Structure 1
Amino acid sequence: MSDKYGGGQDSYCYPGSDVLRNKLDIRDDATLSEAERQLSAIAVEEIEFSPPPYNLAYLQNIHRVLFSDLYDWAGELRTVGISKQATRFCQPEYMEKEAGKIFKAMAEANWFEGMNRGELIAAVAEAYSDLNVVHPFREGNGRTQRILFEHLILNAGFEISWWGVEEDEWIYANIAAYNCNLGPMKQVFEKCIGHPIQP
């Protein structure tokens, strides 16, 4: 039986199922998704803003806080290859190297500090899209990555809110970016990135 990533049966799922093994022993995907949503919404309150530098370990810590009540592997890099439809994510053996390149590029851009809003939108859209292809966790990549980018954008001196973007917009923007079209992702961040934060 294939899981939702189309990767076939793997050790993260219950045998003969596409439901991820979890600490609550939930065997229904819809129920598990709701538990994920509720538990991560509570856990996110524990994550405080930290200034850069950021790295893969920082991202892993966000994931650990969000999902440790549900998954034994929270905060750990995935060990299986995954894909969604025609989108094939980075193979596990290359994830650390590829993520390292992305964080290095952001560091060389001074974590986007000093950029105007238009420059920030373009820079964030590119970095977000690149990191999304790494997809370092078996589940929960989107929520984890959005928190990292909240911290990046706040550190760069701008307001950020995800509420104006529908799930299908995120999916479309990520697929387009995977196919080298950053336009939809820039539109997403045009909605999400607000005014400069007043000192």
Structure 2
Amino acid sequence: MDKYGVGQDPYCYDGTNVFRNLLEIRDDAILQEAERELTTIAADGIPFSLPPYDFDYLKSLHRQLFRDLYPWAGEIRAIDISKGDTRFCHCDRIEPEAKKLFAQLVRADWYTGLERDELIVAAAEFYGDLNVLHPFRDGNGRAQRILFEHLIINCGYEISWAGLDRDEWIRANIAAYYCDYDPMVAVFRQCIGAPLTE
């Protein structure tokens, strides 16, 4: 069983839980290190963009982050996955559910004009709902965090994930899966900073 509980994963080399990758790395620890390094470099090269922030934009961010490592970068996963007791969106429903979520974001004008406290709540709820989709085979969190950096900056606020406790982050995501957004609101209150100066 791989880390997402799907048995022999077609995204992995046979008999392993190591993702098939463009560098042909067969050791999971080495692959994870390569992934950290390559996505850090890639993230630094992704420029801020103005809206629209839609599902295609999220797929583009994922592609930019992982294109040097995975042939499926930016592509919607073709299998169902879960982590522990958390089952993510059925792969056939990802596209229509994503369109619904991003349509809500468009109707909310990408949260521009919200005061900080309102923005924190709106962003936390949207993050939690979007995370349930988990549209990619891996790397969902990294792509989503860049999307939310752009979203928050576009609203005129600083955002930083630095100092975020990993266990708190995981608990917030699990709680949001069950529509308890309070822990995620607490996370976003910590991460969304002061208004940006001109």
TM-score, length basis structure 1: 0.97
The aligned counterpart of 1:197 is 196
- Give 1:28 shift: 1.7
The aligned counterpart of 1:144 is 143
- Give 1:31 shift: 1.4
Q: Where does the alignment leave 5 or more consecutive residues of structure 1 unmatched?
A: none
How do residues 46-125 of structure 1 correspond to structure 2 at under 5 angstroms?
46-125=45-124
- Give 1:27 shift: 1.4
Separation in 2, partners of 1:180, 1:24: 39
The aligned counterpart of 1:39 is 38
What SS does structure 2 have at the residue aligned with 1:194? strand
The aligned counterpart of 2:16 is 17
Paired residue type of 1:73 = W
Does the 8 A contact of 1:164 with 1:191 survive in 2? no
Q: Where does the alignment leave 5 or more consecutive residues of structure 2 unmatched?
A: none
Does the 8 A contact of 1:76 with 1:137 survive in 2? yes
Paired residue type of 2:85 = A
Separation in 1, partners of 2:165, 2:21: 27
Task: Please give the root-mean-square deviation of Cα atoms over the aligned residues, in Å.
Answer: 0.8
- Give 1:164 shift: 2.0
2:178 is the counterpart of 1:179: yes
TM-score, length basis structure 2: 0.98
Comparing 127-136 with 2-11, which one deviates more in the overlay?
Answer: 2-11
- Give 1:170 shift: 1.3
Separation in 1, partners of 2:80, 2:50: 32
Cα deviations by residue, 1:57-107 (Å, 9 ceiling, x for unpaired): 111111111001100111111000000001000011100111111111111
Separation in 2, partners of 1:34, 1:191: 28
Does the 8 A contact of 1:90 with 1:135 survive in 2? yes
Paired residue type of 1:144 = A
- Give 1:193 shift: 0.1
| Identical columns (%) | 60
Paired residue type of 2:97 = E
